Amino acid sequence: MTNQKQLDLLLVNPGSRKQTYQLLGETLAAIEPPIWAGLIATFIRNHGFSVQILDAEAEDLTPEQAAQRISAKNPILTAVVVYGHQPSASTQNMPAAGAICTAVKQTGLGLPTILVGGHVAALPERTLKEEDADWVAGGEGLHTILDLLQALKSDRHDYSKVRGLWYRDGKAMRSNPPAPLIENLEEAMPEMAWDLLPMEKYRAHNWHCFGHPKRQPYAALYTTLGCPFHCSFCCIQAPFKSGEKVLGYQENVNTYRFWSPQSIVAQIDKLVRDYGVRNIKIADEMFVLNQKHVIGICDLLIERGYDLNIWAYARVDTIRGEGMLDKLKRAGFNWLAFGIESGSERVRYNVDKKFNQDKIFKIMEDVRAAGIHVIGNYIFGLPDEDRDCMQATLDLALELNCEFANFYSTMAYPGSALYRQAIQEGWPLPEKWSGYSQHAVDTLPLPTKYLSASEVLRFRDHAFDVYFKSPNYLEMVGQKFGQETAAHVKKMALHKLARMHA
């Protein structure tokens, strides 16, 4: 009887839903497929290596249980992939990622581990210093993992040529020259490795299925990577900056890479055909931006006539071109999320959201006229805000009365311009990475020039309570989605987050 060939790479999606979202994580929050793990798996498989994915989040595994599963698989390399539902969620996943690395180390089996992801790329040296991983990837990680696998499977185990690798040399921290970005996405990783994921376990957000209570099956995918905008609170480019530099981009230029509409819709074909998926998230930081790209995807979906329920991100100033909204709706886009951020034009301008109030109302009106629901995203506690500014934001949210709203407090996420400013100015930051979650017990936002972190957090929780108990909002939800959905929202609003710093 021949021995089974050893697994080359095990990609691990760390699970931290309960710590991150408290009780909201049990039934209301989405369970997202790990997009980056799925893409890395395809990239590595295309180079001839064997790959599996362990989704500790979807399978609700503790770090110790995850370590047991890793040990049983005995891979040549374990990569813990630290991304999240959106770019900011990378940091809040670090406690679970670090705990898995520690649990693997405590097995005593000597299984090699590497950490890769947005937070890791933003703070590679600190991550290597603080965590029990053997290595850290300083960029987007694809070339680093490939080079490292090749080194591990060679006779010499020479890590000096592994691009983007951070490692320990005695007590010193060393790093190799960075790796370039993947330029041809379609050739390198044309789709996610859906066959390696527990597809039956993923579910959509509660609001995504208002009026349509069946939240499974569900999938999320990228159609682009990166974002050309420079919002000070955003950290999306953190894993891409070193690779951009290798390719010769200037520091102030953000890359924005595309898969073709044909490639994207081929993935959706597979999701519909093989997994029965109807609920889909386009996870791009900014999907509605390049008109040719968006219309190309919409036209192909319209041809197929799928009954899809898709949501995606847009900006108030990127909805343009006659007929775009109509095509989005006909293609199955039932929800668009807009970063409205603040009720103060001055505050919006300071974070690169240079549109006036009238523009906001006009776009929201046009989107709803096309039959598309709106998610309004608002941030409290931006650096120049006082209580009047925050109240103006809540007042604007109540006046817009979007079908759903997300209320955030300002965080200086590692990899963002705001984080660099916070370090330079000595502003107080969370003691633990879990404190960067918006919904955790130890959430600690930034203070403003006029308000403490506690005041900002209290107002954020107050705004959530006011909005979702608003009679106008509940009446609108009942009319659009039915009284059963309105009752669900009332029940959701009863959830109170425990807060250490409020």
Whole-Å CA distances, 52 to 135, 199, 409: 20, 14, 37
Helix (H), strand (E), coil (C) string for 48-61:
CCCEEEEECCCCCC
Q: Does one domain contain both 200 and 170?
A: no
Q: Does one domain contain both 143 and 234?
A: no
Q: Does one domain contain both 230 and 269?
A: yes
Q: pLDDT per residue over 424-456, tens digit each? A: 999 999 999 999 988 888 999 999 999 999 999
Q: Which of 256, 259, 272 is nearest to 332 (CA)?
A: 272
pTM for the structure as a whole:
0.95
Q: pLDDT per residue over 338-349, tens digit each? A: 988 887 777 776
Q: Does one domain contain both 170 and 265?
A: no
Domain end point (choices 373, 398, 428): 428
Residue 485 counted as domain residue: no
Cα–Cα–Cα angle for 406, 412, 417, nearest 5°?
115
pLDDT of residue 16: 65
pLDDT of residue 2: 45
pLDDT of residue 357: 81
Mean local confidence (pLDDT), 53-64:
94
Rounded CA separation 152/501 (Å)? 45
pLDDT of residue 21: 54
Q: Which of 117, 114, 161, 167 is nearest to 139 (CA)?
A: 117
| Number of domains forming the structure of the chain | 2
pLDDT of residue 452: 96
Domain end point (choices 412, 428, 444): 428
Q: 235 CB contacts (<8 Å, ≥6 apart)? A: 87, 88, 90, 91, 118, 122, 413, 414, 415, 416, 419
Beta carbons of 219 and 202 less than 8 angstroms apart: yes
- 10 Å CB burial of residue 364 (0-12, 13-18, 19+) is buried
Rounded CA separation 46/469 (Å)? 51
Phi–psi pair at 446, nearest 5 degrees = -75, 145
Rounded CA separation 406/12 (Å)? 29
Domain around 24:
9-175
When pLDDT is cut at 50, 70 and 90, the band that residue 351 belongs to is low
Q: What share of the chain in percent tops pLDDT 90?
A: 76
Residue 502 counted as domain residue: no
Residue 140 counted as domain residue: yes
Mean local confidence (pLDDT), 270-291:
95
Residue 439 counted as domain residue: no
Q: Does one domain contain both 298 and 355?
A: yes
Q: Does one domain contain both 300 and 339?
A: yes
Residue 183 counted as domain residue: no
pLDDT of residue 4: 74
Record the tokens describing residue 331, joined without a space.
């293609």
Q: Tokens 């921290």 belong to which residue?
A: 173
My answer on whether omega of the bond before 430 falls inside 30° of 0, hence cis, is no
Q: Is the pLDDT of residue 392 over 50?
A: yes
- The domain that holds 75 is classified in CATH as 3.40.50.280
Q: Does one domain contain both 220 and 72?
A: no
Residue 484 counted as domain residue: no
Q: Does one domain contain both 132 and 233?
A: no
Q: Given the DSSP bridges, would you call strands 373-380 and 404-409 parallel, antiparallel or unpaired?
A: parallel
When pLDDT is cut at 50, 70 and 90, the band that residue 404 belongs to is very high
- The domain that holds 217 is classified in CATH as 3.20.20.70
Domain end point (choices 364, 396, 428): 428
Residue 180 counted as domain residue: no
Q: Does one domain contain both 208 and 145?
A: no
pLDDT of residue 1: 40
Q: Does one domain contain both 240 and 106?
A: no
Q: Is the pLDDT of residue 123 over 80?
A: yes
Selection from 38-42, 247-251, 429-433 with the highest mean pLDDT: 38-42
Higher-confidence residue of 26 and 93: namely: 93
Q: Does one domain contain both 126 and 271?
A: no
Q: Does one domain contain both 209 and 287?
A: yes
Q: Is the pLDDT of residue 475 over 90?
A: yes
Residue 434 counted as domain residue: no
Q: pLDDT per residue over 184-243, tens digit each? A: 999 999 999 999 999 999 999 999 999 987 999 999 999 999 988 887 788 888 889 999
